[in-house]
């Protein structure tokens, strides 16, 4: 195994981050994944075909994955060190180990691919794409899951491949993205090598993968024009409040009154039928907030014949939930976060020592029920999700098709001025596409945004500013294929391809 090839794989993975938000160069991942596939197609002696053995494939996949994650989720270090209070060397080591664990998934996918690579070029491409997708799907739920930077997220609008999201979900988009990458790699190989084979003219042989790639892109473009859901009722006014309270100051007791004033003033100056405050907007338990303050927020909402959604911890020090409560003309309702973040919101067994090195307030929440009904507020049926929950599409659809609107409340101030806020907004775009619903995002420091049902961002606040994003929200009814079936069609398709095309041989002629 040559170090240069590992270095190339590492750099390809790192460059893939440019395909995601905030850079948004979505075609780049077609080239970087295609580059990884080309590396796997080369044996150690330079012969075209499968890599020499599974170990070679695993190392190449791990190098690509490590490059992707060490650049793409570098904000984990910021969270642990700058805001978690962990010593810098320990935070750096934890970040490296975290990225190393994530790299296991692409390593396994690549190892299996080279070990069972079939003889036909298109079968090899489909096998690689299926294994890559299955690895990302597994990463999305093993050990509670971390689906961040799944390749499909890079294909948010304006990518034509976004059209597949309502049908197959983000993992289905990953499958098509990875196959497209192999087609580009195959076209490049044929053009460079000039091998015709079987008497077929060289130009046609080189163009055949390009034609198939064009059909995939065209199919996605056609699906972008499809309307899977329909508007219901009249649009409502909305105000999404971004308090921009510094994370290192937010939980100080002497700053509590200031937080109350900030959000009251924003709500007062930006009246709307639906007002949304971020996750843990008020840094206290609900029982600790003065009753007259909550009454005044309720009165503000009632004067607009609407409701307010407030992110706050509910309970006491013995048992508490990360929740959103409604205040206004509707009866008070509550959503409690069910998918908690390891280390940030609950302590995995055996890791109390690790949490003792950090200083994260309220880091042992009680999860809410997995099945919760939408909140009936401001004339909508709202499927609330809190922060990182919107990274799990199969969990978002639990409240659908009953819900007419998606609302995410977040506090990504934990990650500072990093890639995380923009990446999180891109995730929200895929959720809107998958469900055919608008997605509203209210955050503490950014990115607060309104996402249309077709996945386009129609309004966003500048990060690290104190303001309110005002606009109109439209409810939708109906169900996309993804809402009906979830991830299973994409997973079953990838499994069937993997089973059909596995071919235990070490070289390909």
For the question of residue 279 being annotated catalytic, the response is: yes
For the question of residue 381 being annotated catalytic, the response is: no
Catalytic-role residue among 99, 136, 186, 337: 337
CA 442 to centroid of chain Cα atoms: 16
Does residue 419 contact residue 24 with C-beta atoms inside 8 Å?
no
Per DSSP, helices labelled H in 270-307 are: 291-303
Instruction: Provide the token pair at 14.
Output: 């790192």
> What single DSSP character describes residue 313?
E
Does residue 421 contact residue 395 with C-beta atoms inside 8 Å?
no
From the list 185, 201, 334, 278, the residue with the least C-alpha distance to 466 is 278
Instruction: Provide the token pair at 414.
Output: 């934990």
Pairing of strands 457-460, 449-451: antiparallel
Instruction: Provide the token pair at 286.
Output: 């609900």
For the question of residue 337 being annotated catalytic, the response is: yes
Catalytic-role residue among 41, 186, 279, 389: 279
DSSP per residue over 37-81, as a string? HHHHHB-TTS-BSS-SSHHHHHHHHHHHHHHHHHHHTTHHHHIII
User: Which parts of 140-295 are beta strand (E)?
Assistant: 230-242, 274-276
Catalytic-role residue among 250, 298, 387, 389: 387
CB atoms within 10 A of CB 120: 13
Give the list of residues 6+ apart from residue 26 with CB closer than 8 angstroms, or none: 19, 154, 155, 156, 158, 159, 161
> What single DSSP character describes residue 143?
G
How far, in Å, CA of 490 to CA of 393, rounded? Answer: 13
User: Which helix H or strand E contains 122, and what residues bound it?
Assistant: helix 121-139
Give the list of residues 6+ apart from residue 258 with CB closer than 8 angstroms, or none: 245
Coil, helix or strand at residue 311:
strand
The CB-based long-range contact list for 379-382 (8 Å cut-off, 24+ gap) reads 379/233, 379/236, 379/273, 379/306, 379/475, 380/236, 380/274, 380/404, 380/405, 380/473, 380/475, 381/405, 381/475, 382/309, 382/406, 382/407
In this structure, is the dihedral angle defined by the CA atoms of residues 343, 349, 352 and 357, taken in order, positive or negative? negative
Give the residue numbers annotated as catalytic, written as ranges.
Answer: 279, 337, 387
């Amino acid at each position: 195994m040559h170090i240069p090839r590992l270095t190339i794989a590492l750099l390809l993975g790192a460059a893939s981050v440019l395909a995601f938000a905030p850079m948004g160069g979505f075609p780049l991942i077609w080239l970087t994944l295609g580059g990884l596939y080309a590396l796997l197609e080369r044996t150690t002696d330079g012969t075209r075909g499968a890599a020499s053995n599974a170990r070679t494939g695993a190392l190449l996949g791990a190098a690509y994955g490590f490059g992707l994650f060490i650049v793409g989720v570098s904000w984990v270090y910021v969270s642990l060190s700058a805001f978690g209070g962990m010593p810098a060397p320990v935070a750096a080591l934890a970040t490296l180990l975290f990225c190393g664990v994530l790299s296991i998934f692409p390593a396994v996918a690549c190892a299996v691919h080279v070990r069972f690579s079939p003889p036909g070029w298109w079968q090899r491409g489909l096998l690689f794409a299926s294994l890559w997708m299955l690895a990302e799907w597994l990463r999305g739920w093993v050990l509670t899951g971390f689906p961040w930077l799944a390749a499909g997220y890079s294909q948010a609008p304006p990518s034509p491949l976004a059209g597949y999201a309502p049908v197959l979900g983000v993992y289905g988009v990953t499958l098509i993205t990875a196959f497209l990458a192999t087609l580009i790699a195959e076209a490049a190989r044929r053009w460079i090598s000039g091998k015709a084979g079987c008497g077929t003219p060289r130009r046609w042989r080189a163009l055949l993968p390009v034609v198939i790639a064009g059909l995939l892109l065209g199919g996605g473009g056609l699906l972008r024009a499809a309307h899977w859901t329909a508007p219901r009722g009249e649009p409502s006014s909305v105000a999404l409040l971004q308090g921009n309270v510094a994370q290192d100051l937010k939980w100080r007791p002497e700053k509590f009154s200031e937080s109350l004033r900030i959000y009251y003033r924003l709500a007062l100056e930006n009246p709307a039928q639906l007002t949304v405050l971020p996750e843990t907007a008020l840094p206290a338990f609900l029982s600790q907030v003065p009753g007259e303050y909550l009454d005044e927020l309720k009165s503000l909402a009632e004067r607009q014949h609407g409701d307010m959604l407030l992110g706050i911890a509910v309970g006491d020090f013995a048992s508490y939930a990360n929740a959103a409560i409604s205040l206004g003309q509707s009866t008070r309702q509550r959503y409690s976060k069910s998918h908690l973040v390891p280390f940030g919101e609950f302590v995995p067994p055996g890791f109390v020592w690790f949490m003792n090195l950090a200083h994260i307030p309220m880091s042992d929440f009680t999860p809410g029920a997995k099945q919760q009904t939408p909140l009936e507020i401001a004339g909508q049926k709202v499927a609330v999700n809190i922060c990182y929950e919107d990274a799990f599409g199969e969990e978002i659809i639990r409240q659908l098709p009953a819900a007419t609107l998606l609302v995410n409340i977040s506090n990504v101030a934990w990650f500072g001025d990093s890639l995380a806020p923009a990446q999180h907004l891109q995730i929200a775009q895929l959720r809107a596409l998958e469900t055919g619903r608008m997605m509203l995002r209210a955050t503490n420091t950014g990115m607060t945004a309104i996402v249309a049902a077709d996945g386009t961002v129609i309004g966003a606040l500048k990060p690290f500013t104190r303001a309110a994003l005002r606009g109109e929200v439209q409810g939708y009814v109906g169900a996309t294929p993804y809402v009906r079936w979830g991830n299973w069609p994409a997973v079953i398709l990838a499994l069937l391809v993997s089973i059909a095309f596995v071919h235990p041989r070490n070289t390909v002629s």
